Structure 1
C-alpha cells in the first residue's frame, strides 16, 4: 500500500513538472530560479563570503581553449566509459554529494534513479535527507560521503552501516572546515517542522506555490539527518548535526589513516588541493583523490579547482585516480578536466538545478546534456575516446596553474 501511495505521489508530482525538455544546464538553472523560493535558490548558488573562489571555479574553465581537428575518421559512437572507484560508469561524470536539499521531495532517491538510468554513480552526503539504504537500492553504484562528525566510535558505526548497506566506496570530505560566512542570504534550517515553523515559511510557499504543492504531495521533510544516526544518540536533526560537526575537532592525517584501516573498500579523499596533501592521502591508503574547494564554500580567495588539478595529477596521477569538482557547467568543461589528467568529474549544483527544474527526469536530462556535450567535444577534437584526450588538445594561458609550492616543511603545521 505504501509503495502504491508513493507511486501515485510521484505521478502527480511529475505532472507538475510537465514542460519542454531542457536544452542546457543554463536552462535548468533558469527554471530552478523560477520555481524555487528565493532563499532556497540562493543556497544552491551561494559561495563563502564574497564568492571569489566560486567565481574562479567557472572562470578557470573559460580561460582554457580547445584545439579542433577536422576530417578525422571517427566511429559512429565515441568511447566515454571508464572505471572509477572500482565501478564501471558509462561516461566520466559522477553525482557529487550534497546535503540538506530543500529542492524536491524525491530527494536523493530520485537523483540516484536518474544517475542509474544515465549509467553512472552517485555520492551520498552524510547530511542527505534520504537514508543510504534507500539510495543504494535505487542505484547500486552508491558511494557514501563521510564528514568528520562526532567521536571515532560514532564514525566507526557509520562506516559499518555503509558496509552493510552495500556502499561501493567511502568518500572522506576534507574541503570544508565549517566556513559559513556569506555576503548574501540563504535559508535558516529550522530545528523541527512544527506549526510555527510552517507559519514562518508560509511566505516562501506562497511565493512559489508549485514548490510548496510538490512537498505537500510528496511529503514534508522531517529535517533529520538519517545517515548520521547512531545507536547511542539516535537520529539528529540537521541543526543538531551541524552543531556537533562544528564542535568536532578537525581530523588529522592520523585520523585519515585510522579511517582507511577501518574501511576495506575503495577510498576517496575529497578536498585535495596541493601536491603534498595528495601524496599524504596516497600514503594513508587512498585509492583516489578529488581536487576540490567544496564548490567555493570553504576558504574564499583560493584559486579555482581546475588550476590545482595539473599539480595533483603530476604528483600522484600515476598511483591513484584523480577526480575533480567545481565549476563544471557543460560537457566541454568535462573534456578540459580530462585532458588535464582527471579520470572523471563530480557535479553538484547542476543536478540540483535539474532536480528543481524537473524532478528525477530533470536530473536525468542534465546528465544527458553533459554526456552529449562530451561527445560533441570529442567530435570537434577529432578523438574516438575520452582516453585519447591530453594537454595537446588545450590552449593553456601562461600562469594558469597554481605555482608549485616551496618545501612543505616551511609551512606552519606541516611535517
Structure 2
C-alpha cells in the first residue's frame, strides 16, 4: 500500500524567498538554524545579499531579442545555465540529500559540487549522471588526501574543488543551533518536541525507515567506517593549514590522477587570485564562505570585479554568496563572473520539495536571468558588461 503525504499541497514556488519560507516552516528549528548559519554578527552573510540591491539597471524599452541565450562554458563544460551547485555538507534537510540535488543538476544540465562532508557517497552521486566536481578541504595527511582524490576520480568526478578558507560558524550573536553527534533513537526522543513541531519533515524520514545521516562517507578510510560530521570537522581543524606550495602540490596530484579542472574556492584578495594562477588552478571562486568565515569580510559581489579584471583572462572566475534571484546572477556575470554557485538557495528548495524543489530553484533563476536579459536588450549572457549596470561610487572593494 502506497503512503500518501497527508500534508501535500501545490509544491511549486515562484521565488527563492518562498522556498526559504517553506523550508523554515518545514524544518525543525536546529536544522533550519544550521542552514542560515553565518558567524558572529552575521554581517558578511547579510552583506552578501544586500550588496546586490546596490546595483541598478538602465533597461531599454526597444531592441529586445526574441530569444536569449543563457548558456556558458565554465571549467571546460558547456552548460545551459550559468548557475552551479555549490558543495555543502551534510544535507539532512531531506532523506535523499545530495542524491536528489545531483538528479536535479543532471536534469537541468549543470555542474554538481559534492562536499567531502556530504552525507551521501561520491559513488551514489555520480551514479545519477550529474557532472560532478568533488570538493575537498585540506584535511588529513597527504597520503589520505591522495586516496580521496583517487576515489573521487574512480567514481567519475570530473573536477576537484579545493576549499581552503577557514570556516568557523561559532560565536553567533543569536546562538548556535544544537547539532547532535549522531541521530539515533535516544537523540530523536530528546529532540522529540522540536521534531514534533515539524511533522512533515519527520514523516519524510519516517517513510524511509531511517534517521538523518550525520556521517561523512566520503572521508571513510578504505574498508573502514565513515566518521561522524564532528569527527570529520575535528580532522580538518587539527590538520596544519596549507601553504601555497601545498596548493600547488594538491593541484599537481589531481592533475596526475585525473587531468580534469582544479578549482580554488574562497578567494577574497587580488594577490591570492594571482598566487592561485601561479599554482596552476583552472578556476577560482570569489567567496567569503557564505558569511561563515571571518565576519566583516566584504560581500563577494563587491570583491568580484577587481579579481576578475586581474585574472579573468587566465582562469575561469566564478562567484558564490548571496545569490537569490536570476537578476543577481546577471549582475555577477556583468562584473566578470563566468557563472555563480548557489548554496542556501538550493538547500531551501531541497527542504521544500526534494529533487523537484531544487529543479524549481534552478528554473526560478533561469527565468530571472532571461527576464533581465530581455529588459537589457541583451541576446546572450556572453554579452554582459559592467556598462549594463548602474554601479555606485565605492561599490567595488579591492583587497590585496
Same fold (TM over 0.5): yes
Q: Does 1:333 align with 2:328?
A: yes
Q: Does 1:153 align with 2:143?
A: yes
**CA apart distance, 1:289:** 0.3
Q: Is the 1:324–1:344 Cα contact (8 Å) retained in structure 2?
A: yes
Equivalent position to 1:210, from 169, 178, 200: 200
Partner residue, 2:16: 25
Q: Is the 1:78–1:384 Cα contact (8 Å) retained in structure 2?
A: yes
Q: Is the 1:317–1:341 Cα contact (8 Å) retained in structure 2?
A: yes
- Distance in 1 between residues matched to 2:127 and 2:104, nearest whole Å: 13
- Distance in 1 between residues matched to 2:5 and 2:69, nearest whole Å: 33
- Aligned pairs for 1:190-201 within 5 A: 190-201=180-191
Q: Do the aligned partners of residues 322 and 13 (structure 1) sit closer, same or farther apart at CA in structure 2, a change above 3 Å counting?
A: farther
- Distance in 2 between residues matched to 1:342 and 1:180, nearest whole Å: 30
Q: Is the 2:41–2:172 Cα contact (8 Å) retained in structure 1?
A: yes
Q: Deviations over 1:355-409 (max 9, x none)?
A: 111111111101100000000000000011001100110011001111454xxxx
* TM-score using structure 1 length: 0.92
161-170 or 239-248, which moves further after superposition? 239-248
Structure 1 runs not aligned, ≥5 long: 1-7, 406-415
**CA apart distance, 1:204:** 2.0
- Distance in 1 between residues matched to 2:199 and 2:6, nearest whole Å: 14
- Distance in 2 between residues matched to 1:367 and 1:14, nearest whole Å: 24
- Distance in 2 between residues matched to 1:359 and 1:15, nearest whole Å: 16
* TM-score using structure 2 length: 0.95
Partner residue, 1:383: 378
Q: Deviations over 1:244-297 (max 9, x none)?
A: 111111111111011111012201000011111001111111000000000000
- Distance in 2 between residues matched to 1:296 and 1:17, nearest whole Å: 34
Q: Does 1:169 align with 2:147?
A: no
Q: Is the 2:105–2:130 Cα contact (8 Å) retained in structure 1?
A: no
Aligned pairs, how many? 395
Q: Deviations over 1:189-219 (max 9, x none)?
A: 3232333212122122211011111111133
Equivalent position to 1:281, from 276, 283, 294: 276
RMSD: 1.7
- DSSP 3-state at the match of 2:265: strand
Q: Does 1:268 align with 2:268?
A: no
- Distance in 2 between residues matched to 1:250 and 1:353, nearest whole Å: 32
**CA apart distance, 1:176:** 2.6
- Distance in 1 between residues matched to 2:359 and 2:3, nearest whole Å: 18
Q: Do the aligned partners of residues 177 and 106 (structure 1) sit closer, same or farther apart at CA in structure 2, a change above 3 Å counting?
A: closer
- DSSP 3-state at the match of 2:218: helix
- Distance in 2 between residues matched to 1:38 and 1:251, nearest whole Å: 35
- Distance in 1 between residues matched to 2:165 and 2:65, nearest whole Å: 40
- Distance in 2 between residues matched to 1:368 and 1:116, nearest whole Å: 13
